[in-house]
Amino acid sequence: MVNLNYLEMSTMISNKKYFLFYWLVGLLSLGSCKDDHFNGIVEGNTVPPGPVTNIQVTNDHGKAILRYTLPGDDDLLYVKAEYPLPNGQMRVIKSSQYSNELTVDGFANTDPYQIKLYAVNKSEVSSVATDVTVQPKEPIFNLVFDQIQVTSSFGGVRIRSLNTLKGSVVVVPMVDSLGTGEYVQLDSYYTEDSLINYNVRGLKSEEMKFAFYVRDRWLNTSDTLFASVTPLEENLLDRNLFQAIRLPNDADFRFDTNLPMLWDGNLSIGKWPSLYTQDIASSPTSLTFSIGKEAKISRVVVFPRRENGFYDKGNLREFEIWASNEYTQDGSWDSWTKLASCLVVKPSGTPVGTSTAADEAAGTIGWSFDMPEDALKYKYLRIRNLRNWQGSYFMQIRQIQIWGVY
């Protein structure tokens, strides 16, 4: 056994303290040392990097893709392109040092455009400019405009076109309602869909002068299409004529709710009580009612009830609308004609459980579904729910509106 007296122990502890002190000092000194050339990065480097070279251009619709060779500077941060847009604004696009390509866009026509490319280091010092000329193909908004067809529809006009490249475009309808030659914008229809089939509603059944153009997000605009169109007559059908019908295979109700609640005129978004069918249904469910007398139905508007959101619980998501003038009491579908297959799509496209202002607005004003314009007049309607937002079959609906003409 080793015995240490008090003095020897104190000396050892003191030595250890000094060793730890000097070790920490040395470590901090290493951390504070500044090597201006660490990893080749020069802090406050005012020397411009080398230019971008070997540029290759791929022209596309309203845009162009530039591929290039990066300079060999160790402190390169990004490459930027600068060029003026047709509206006079200077557009700047950046691409990191980890990529050898960038896309320039926002072009309004097929004219040649000069692009200046710069390499920029971490001190935000730019290289000399490398000039490159691009000549984009026809922009997508012009391609969409070239395909526009305008026809009369119930309560307004129908706009059809093709957007095969799925570009982000805005279709803008205008009307000269006073016949003075001054056109007022009716709406702005934003879309990236390949097929455009859009209705402007709420207009009188009289000949009016319309104008239509297409634009992109940089406010580049197409030519303008002028057309005189007479909207077809459309009215909100009289809900006081509606009557509930009960067929053997129709849904049962919960919470003392009933079918006439569907057309009682209460559009409050949180309306309660509100139509609510049994949530234990294990297969598609249906509701049947009469609209009082035969009518040519133009559209059906479904108003969802809002609890946690409009895209939630038993609110309709995928359903069918069937019609008949004579039906059998056994509930079979043989005497019914399917007018429409309907799918509710969230404007935002966000997952279930989330909601945006656009989603809220769409749920508040109701989900509108057009019926075939060549359909016959019908007196009886049937809603068949294939799937709700919970993924099951029960239904909750605060209100329904039927539009058309008797």
**pLDDT attached to residue 19:** 46
Query: Rounded to two decimals, what is the model's pTM?
Result: 0.73
User: pLDDT at residue 12 above 50?
Assistant: no
Residue 43 — pLDDT band, cuts 50, 70, 90? low
Place of tokens 């869909």: 193
**pLDDT attached to residue 41:** 53
**pLDDT attached to residue 294:** 97
Among 27-31, 153-157, 358-362, 397-401, whose mean pLDDT is lowest? 27-31
Q: Are 310 and 363 in contact (CB under 8 A)?
A: yes
Domains 140-232 and 236-405 share a fold: no
**pLDDT attached to residue 44:** 79
SS3 category, 359: helix
- Cβ neighbours of 127 (radius 10 Å): 19
**pLDDT attached to residue 196:** 93
CA distance 16 to 37: 36
Tokens of 332: 């079979």
The percentage of the chain sitting over the pLDDT mark of 70, rounded to a whole number, equals: 89
SS3 category, 178: coil
330-349 burial, b at 16+ Cβ within 10 Å, e below that, comes to: eeebeebeebbebebebeee
Tokens of 26: 């040395």
Tokens of 14: 């003191």
Closest CA to 404 of 158, 157, 236, 200: 236
Among 32-36, 331-335, 341-345, 349-353, whose mean pLDDT is lowest? 32-36
- The class of domain 53-134 in CATH terms is mainly beta
The percentage of the chain sitting over the pLDDT mark of 90, rounded to a whole number, equals: 77
What are the tens digits of pLDDT across the range 343-402?
999 888 888 888 889 899 999 999 999 999 889 999 999 999 999 999 999 999 999 999
Instruction: Please state the rounded mean pLDDT for residues 110-124.
Output: 96
User: pLDDT at residue 339 above 80?
Assistant: yes
- Cβ neighbours of 48 (radius 10 Å): 17
CA distance 102 to 81: 8
What are the tens digits of pLDDT across the range 225-245?
999 999 999 999 999 999 999
**pLDDT attached to residue 13:** 41
In the chain, where the domains are located = 53-134, 140-232, 236-405
User: pLDDT at residue 176 above 90?
Assistant: yes
Query: How high is the mean pLDDT of the chain?
Result: 89
**pLDDT attached to residue 69:** 96
Q: What CATH number labels 236-405?
A: 2.60.120.260
**pLDDT attached to residue 42:** 56
User: pLDDT at residue 84 above 70?
Assistant: yes
CA distance 120 to 127: 6
Could you say which architecture CATH assigns to the domain 140-232? Answer: Sandwich (2.60)
CA distance 20 to 27: 11
